[in-house]
């Protein structure tokens, strides 16, 4: 069988002109390994590659914006969720497009089928986010756009791979006389690497889907109190109150430390309420804690205190207050007290953080670790394990023992760390000057921590000197940071809280 004269160019590449007859000095079919035998000879394939590059550029821009939003939220891009899910989906889109461009000329069925599986999983994710109201509201337009874009990019990769496969076969038949079914070692290596990478992406997407299903289940848990929009209705915070209002008695207002109030701190206060030591108490979930949404970044302690003030007004709660705070929550309570000194009739500081130690939560190393934990949180390794094998409940994941694994809480702690030594430090220094020294105060410290950490002991002693009306400073022997976990700790806390509440009652009489 005779073949028409074909051109031959030893420097042929994807920018070569479309090869045609009558333009060379060689007759007969080309060798399959000849560089001129390439799908890039087709303008369609070149156009697809150019378009893929454009889509990758757009995806990278979106990826960078989502990365920045973890630290400073761009205008209009606020997500009431953690933002880590959106970042995960954009990462999948970028990764698939990069893999496609790296192995553009070596299409394979394994890669096509893998990308079809990814597309299906992303389609399921999009349906879940759109169908479950809690997820839809939490993700907002940023989250919905991210998952739909990732799904579209996965479909685009499948389309490109198929067209390049057809183009490759067409050029082989035209230039060599037959479709080449064998691959070179280089081509097999490319297929092997691309298949491994797409299999990894399948695993990542499957974990995302399972975690999203679990999160959708968690959103069905009804908060104990009510949620209120704050900060120009950008997000909602949760407030719960127990007991009837009494003008002659202060309402106890709880501020969480490192974990949500519902997860432990509320327990001893509820006992105090049941046995009549106090008549009423309220607590709120800081942004990202418990049932509250995440706030835009940056978020300082003062900004959070303002959000609490706004939410209390909308809830019709006007005090007077006895503030009870734990750990880093003492910073928030003191700032709130300085801005509402007339309504605050007492402070109970439970092993709270001193402003001179804010560097411990604001260190760059801790911030980086929190960011890494946040980035991998959508994969849900620990949460899925707890859900499937340890029988963790929705309560455990939202405010209980597994709450620390929640991406929203990780984001809140990251926000706290980012501004701890700047905005928050300045705010607490101002609050220290403004807060009147005649506000009754009690300080209860962990025996374990004061014994093992001299700086912590000195900080607790300094806190006990903030008020001229100190009810008492107690160091509870053998008590951990969560002082209420020991019987003696609960007893001391309840006694001091009752003294602060009764102090308001006695002054009213």
Q: Please report, for the domain that includes residue 426, its CATH number.
A: 3.40.50.1820
**Nearest alpha carbon to residue 194 among 116, 123, 109, 119:** 109
pLDDT at 162 over 90: no
Q: Is residue 236 within 8 Å of residue 138, measured between CB atoms?
A: no
Q: Are residues 318 and 272 in the same domain?
A: yes
Quick check: is 377 in a domain? no
**Nearest alpha carbon to residue 128 among 214, 204, 236:** 214
The mean pLDDT of the chain is 89
Q: Is residue 467 within 8 Å of residue 439, measured between CB atoms?
A: yes
At residue 188, the pLDDT reads 81
- Say which range, 7-16, 96-105, 363-372, has the weakest mean pLDDT: 7-16
- 218, 247, 262 — which closes off a domain? 218
- Residue 72, classed as helix, strand or coil, is coil
Q: Are residues 304 and 191 in the same domain?
A: no
Q: Are residues 208 and 314 in the same domain?
A: no
**What percentage of the chain has pLDDT greater than the value 90?**
75
- 152, 184, 218 — which closes off a domain? 218
Q: Are residues 491 and 343 in the same domain?
A: yes
pLDDT at 504 over 70: no
pLDDT at 175 over 80: no
Q: Are residues 324 and 448 in the same domain?
A: yes
pLDDT higher at 333 or 248: 333
- Say which range, 37-51, 402-416, 459-473, has the weakest mean pLDDT: 37-51
pLDDT at 343 over 90: yes
**What is the C-alpha separation between 80 and 83, in angstroms, rounded?**
8
Q: Are residues 154 and 51 in the same domain?
A: yes
DSSP-derived secondary structure for 215-272: HHHHTTSPPSSEEEEETTTTEEEEEEEES---TTSPEEEEE-SSS-GGGTHHHHHHHH
Look up tokens 């620390």; give the residue: 404
- Say which range, 177-191, 254-268, 280-294, 433-447, has the weakest mean pLDDT: 177-191
SS (H, E, C) 349-369: EECCCCHHHHHHCCCHHHHHH
Quick check: is 410 in a domain? yes
| Cα-based distances in Å from 343 to 101, 284, 352, 453 | 63, 17, 21, 34
Quick check: is 8 in a domain? no
At residue 182, the pLDDT reads 67
Q: Which domain holds residue 430?
A: 228-363+386-508
At residue 481, the pLDDT reads 96
pLDDT at 31 over 80: no
**What is the C-alpha separation between 420 and 414, in angstroms, rounded?**
10
pLDDT tens-digit profile of 380-413?
Answer: 999 999 998 999 999 999 999 999 999 999 999 9
The number of folded domains in the chain is 2
Q: Is residue 46 within 8 Å of residue 16, measured between CB atoms?
A: no
- Residue 470, classed as helix, strand or coil, is strand
pLDDT at 509 over 60: no
116 token code pair: 């079809």
Average pLDDT on 206-220 reads 95
pLDDT at 26 over 60: no
Look up tokens 């001391």; give the residue: 492
Q: Residue 424 carries which DSSP code?
A: I
| Cα-based distances in Å from 330 to 326, 443, 464 | 6, 11, 13
Sequence-distant (≥ 6) Cβ neighbours of residue 424 within 8 angstroms: 300, 301, 302, 331, 358, 362, 416
At residue 506, the pLDDT reads 45
Q: Are residues 236 and 335 in the same domain?
A: yes
Average pLDDT on 19-42 reads 57
Q: Are residues 411 and 270 in the same domain?
A: yes
Q: Are residues 123 and 164 in the same domain?
A: yes
- Say which range, 150-154, 182-186, 284-288, 382-386, has the weakest mean pLDDT: 182-186
Average pLDDT on 121-134 reads 96
431 token code pair: 């609050």
Average pLDDT on 474-482 reads 96
């Amino acid at each position: 069988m005779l073949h028409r004269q074909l051109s031959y160019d030893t420097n042929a590449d994807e920018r070569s002109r479309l090869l045609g007859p009558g333009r060379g000095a060689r007759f007969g079919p080309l060798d399959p390994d000849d560089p001129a035998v390439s799908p890039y000879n087709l303008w369609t394939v070149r156009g697809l590659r150019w378009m893929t590059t454009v889509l990758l550029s757009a995806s990278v821009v979106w990826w960078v914006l989502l990365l920045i939003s973890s630290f400073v939220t761009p205008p209009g891009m606020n997500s009431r969720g953690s933002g880590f899910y959106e970042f995960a989906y954009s990462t999948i889109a970028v990764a698939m497009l990069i893999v496609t461009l790296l192995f553009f000329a070596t299409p394979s069925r394994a890669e096509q089928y893998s990308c079809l599986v990814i597309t299906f999983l992303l389609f399921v994710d999009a349906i879940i986010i759109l169908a479950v109201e809690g997820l839809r509201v939490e993700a907002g337009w940023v989250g919905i756009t991210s998952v739909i874009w990732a799904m579209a990019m996965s479909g685009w990769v499948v389309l490109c791979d198929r067209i390049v496969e057809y183009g490759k076969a067409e050029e082989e038949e035209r230039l060599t006389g037959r479709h080449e079914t064998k691959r070179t070692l280089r081509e097999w290596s490319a297929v092997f690497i691309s298949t491994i990478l797409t299999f990894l992406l399948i695993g990542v997407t499957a974990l995302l889907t399972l975690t999203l299903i679990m999160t959708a289940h968690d959103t069905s848990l009804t908060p104990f109190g009510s949620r209120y929009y704050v900060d120009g209705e950008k997000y909602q915070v949760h407030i719960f109150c127990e007991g009837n209002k009494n003008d002659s008695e202060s309402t106890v207002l709880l501020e969480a430390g490192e974990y949500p109030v519902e997860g432990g701190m509320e327990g001893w206060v509820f006992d105090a309420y049941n046995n009549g030591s106090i008549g009423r108490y309220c607590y709120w979930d800081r942004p990202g804690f418990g049932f509250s949404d995440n706030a835009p970044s940056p978020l300082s302690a003062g900004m959070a205190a303002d959000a609490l003030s706004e939410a209390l007004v909308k809830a019709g709660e006007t005090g007077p207050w006895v503030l009870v705070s734990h750990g880093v929550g003492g910073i928030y309570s003191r700032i709130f007290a300085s801005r509402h000194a007339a309504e605050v009739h007492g402070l109970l500081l439970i092993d709270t953080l001193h402003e001179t130690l804010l560097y411990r939560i604001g260190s760059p190393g801790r911030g980086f670790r929190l960011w890494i934990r946040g980035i991998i949180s959508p994969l849900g390794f620990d949460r899925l394990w707890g859900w499937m094998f340890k029988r963790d409940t929705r309560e455990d994941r939202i405010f209980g023992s597994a709450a620390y694994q929640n991406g929203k809480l990780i984001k809140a702690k990251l926000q706290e760390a980012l501004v701890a030594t700047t905005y928050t430090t300045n705010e607490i220094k101002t609050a220290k000057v403004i807060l009147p020294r005649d506000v009754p105060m009690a300080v209860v410290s962990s025996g374990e921590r004061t014994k093992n950490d001299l700086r912590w002991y000195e900080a607790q002693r300094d806190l006990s000197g903030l008020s001229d009306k100190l009810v008492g400073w107690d160091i509870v022997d053998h008590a951990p940071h969560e002082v209420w976990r020991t019987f003696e700790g609960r007893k001391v806390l309840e006694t001091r809280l009752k003294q602060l509440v009764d102090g308001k009652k006695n002054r009213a009489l």
